[in-house]
């Protein structure tokens, strides 16, 4: 049996919650707004990799540490 390396959770304003979704190597959350999709994908290999996508043209992908630096304004997105 595979090793569970992370778990996922989802909560909404309708008081709906799901927790403990097991993941060995990756997981993603997809939100659909009309024809648009917002996707967050997390993968665990040697480092934690985060990918954020808003549609097909707006994509950011990097390490978890890189995302923290981006959010703190220490680096700029390309």
Q: Could you read off the pLDDT of 31-50 as tens digits, one per residue?
A: 999 999 999 999 998 899 99
Give domain status of residue 11, yes or no: yes
Number of alpha helices (DSSP H) and beta strands (DSSP E) in the chain: 1, 6
**Residue 42 belongs to domain spanning:** 6-71
Give domain status of residue 48, yes or no: yes
Give domain status of residue 13, yes or no: yes
Give domain status of residue 76, yes or no: no
Sorting pLDDT into bands at 50, 70 and 90, what band is 1?
low
Instruction: Enter the pTM of the model.
Output: 0.85
Give domain status of residue 49, yes or no: yes
Give domain status of residue 26, yes or no: yes
Residue 69 phi/psi, 5° resolution? -65, -40
On whether the CB atoms of residues 29 and 35 are closer than 8 A, the answer is no
Domain tally for the chain?
Answer: 1
């Amino acid at each position: 049996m595979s090793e569970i390396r992370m778990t996922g959770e989802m909560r909404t304003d309708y008081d709906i919650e799901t927790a403990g979704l097991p993941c060995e190597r990756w997981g993603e959350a997809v939100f659909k707004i009309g024809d648009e999709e917002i996707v967050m994908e997390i993968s665990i290999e040697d480092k934690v990799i985060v990918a954020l996508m808003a549609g097909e043209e707006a994509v950011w992908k990097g390490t978890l540490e890189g995302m923290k630096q981006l959010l703190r304004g220490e680096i700029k997105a390309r």
